[in-house]
Amino acid sequence: MQKFIGLFVGTISLCVLPQLASVFFYQRPFLLTLFVGSLFAFYGLAWSYPKMITYLSVNMNVSSITNRIKIDMMEEITNLYPENWIVGKNLLYKRAVINPDTFKILILSPFETGYLYSVNYKKLEKLSEFILNSDVGSLFENAYQKPVVGEFIMKDTTTLLALVFSEEIKPSQINILKQEMSILVKDTFKVAQFRSHTQDINFGVRKLVDIAIKAISPAVNDPTTCLNCIDQIGEIAKELAIKEFPSADSRTLGSKKIQINEFNFEEFIDFCYDQIFQWGKEDPTVVKRIIRSIRIILPLVNNPFNLKILIQQVEEMDLLEIYNLSNYKNGNLKISKEKLTTIELELANFRQKAKLQIKVLEQKGVLEHYEMHHYSDNLAITNAEIEAIKYLKVYKIFDESICVNGNELIS
């Protein structure tokens, strides 16, 4: 589109410039320039304009929009999380927590209010090197990036960085450090009026979720668009489910005393599905598609924690509380009996697939491996790993008698 705008503006300029120049150099006709301008104008009218209209009609289609958002997100995921998860790595990532008893200096945002657009990690690394080489370097423990990329930043209010020291440092040293940091922070962080795709996967998910819930709102009533968004979200979720968390940058900087703040898989899955389910839970088509989009990912997920999150996402929807025969008979459900059966079948299929994948992981020895081995010093991560393995083992033997809630339809 920008190319078309460039061509149009350029063509108009090429046609106007020689005429303007002729006013001052009336003995010199700029025939060639005008001829080139006219050729461009003819090309613009006969070729580029129809092409632009076709381009617009294709790209304004919701499938193109959602597909493009997904492609951008996939690129970003590949860039941020280049490595797939393999056995021997941590199952999950949790944010580093600052010990409340330590001495810390908070660096507030010097930017005009806006959204955190991006963080330059190379400069963030230099920032840490600068502190380490300063006179308080020996006391420096860690620097914590507080906002996640895409977060709303308020001038002189939002903390961008928390610098943690092993001991309290002198007020004069604090003042010098704060002054230096506010200059360095301006180069490291970028705050803008709009969010960007860079380093912000949640932004793409946010847009897809927004399109989906707008589409199923009673004012619009366009479930196909919503289903399209769920499909694209499913692909993003698939990509995230096989990746190693945290991001490569986060791991590199972690070893250099910088703790980056970013979302983990659990949060991403919540962003992907929670709000769509919230607004679409009474539409069986939407619910079925959500279950299906998660179900088709399951065979690819080798990380037990991620598998647990995906299973939990569906189980915690408590679908059988909504879609059961007693609700149907009481007239609380405004759907046909056939739809009710299909939801139950979809859920049964999901459970079957989930159990199969747990079995596969068990056969590969992954579950046993993480029962015995843990690769993190962080107790919260170890506990979450133990809990995930326990959950999967219990889920595997979970009796599938779904008639308990009155759903005797497919039993």
Partner 1 sequence: MMTQKLKYKIKNIFIHQLKDLGTFLGAVYALVIGSALMILEYNIDFGVLFKINIFDTYSRLIAVSNVLISILIGISLTTFSVIFVVMQLASHNFHPEFYGIF
Minimum distance between the CB of residue 123 and partner 1, rounded to whole angstroms? Answer: 15
Q: Considering the rule CB under 8 A, would residue 390 count as an interface residue with partner 1?
A: no
Q: Which is nearer to partner 1, 131 or 201 (CB)?
A: 201
Q: 258-259 and 140-145 as β-strands: parallel, antiparallel, unpaired?
A: parallel
Q: Considering the rule CB under 8 A, would residue 322 count as an interface residue with partner 1?
A: no
Minimum distance between the CB of residue 199 and partner 1, rounded to whole angstroms? Answer: 10
Sole residue written with tokens 């025969």: 325
User: How far apart (Å, rounded) are the C-alpha atoms in residues 276 and 287?
Assistant: 9
Site size toward partner 1 (CB under 8 A) is 59
DSSP E strands in 252-314: the ranges are: 258-259
Q: Which is nearer to partner 1, 36 or 403 (CB)?
A: 36
DSSP E strands in 75-188: the ranges are: 103-108, 114-119, 140-145, 152-153, 159-165
Q: Considering the rule CB under 8 A, would residue 213 count as an interface residue with partner 1?
A: no
Instruction: By CB under 8 A, name the one of 173, 198, 378, 382 that touches partner 1.
Output: 198
User: How far apart (Å, rounded) are the C-alpha atoms in residues 269 and 272?
Assistant: 5
Q: 103-108 and 258-259 as β-strands: parallel, antiparallel, unpaired?
A: unpaired
Q: Which is nearer to partner 1, 26 or 172 (CB)?
A: 26
Instruction: By CB under 8 A, name the one of 104, 146, 207, 295 that touches partner 1.
Output: 207
User: How far apart (Å, rounded) are the C-alpha atoms in residues 276 and 288?
Assistant: 12
Minimum distance between the CB of residue 93 and partner 1, rounded to whole angstroms? Answer: 23
Half-sphere exposure of 188 (CA within 13 A, CB side): 21
Sites for partner 1 among residues 74-133 (CB under 8 A): 75, 78-79, 118
Q: Considering the rule CB under 8 A, would residue 4 count as an interface residue with partner 1?
A: yes
Q: 140-145 and 103-108 as β-strands: parallel, antiparallel, unpaired?
A: unpaired
Binding mask 30-69 for partner 1 (x = CB under 8 A): xxxxxxxxx-xxx-xx---x--xx--x--xx---xx--xx
Strand partners, 159: 108
DSSP E strands in 203-342: the ranges are: 258-259
Note the residues at the interface with partner 1 (CB under 8 A).
1-19, 21-22, 25, 28-38, 40-42, 44-45, 49, 52-53, 56, 59-60, 64-65, 68-69, 72, 75, 78-79, 118, 194, 196-198, 207, 210
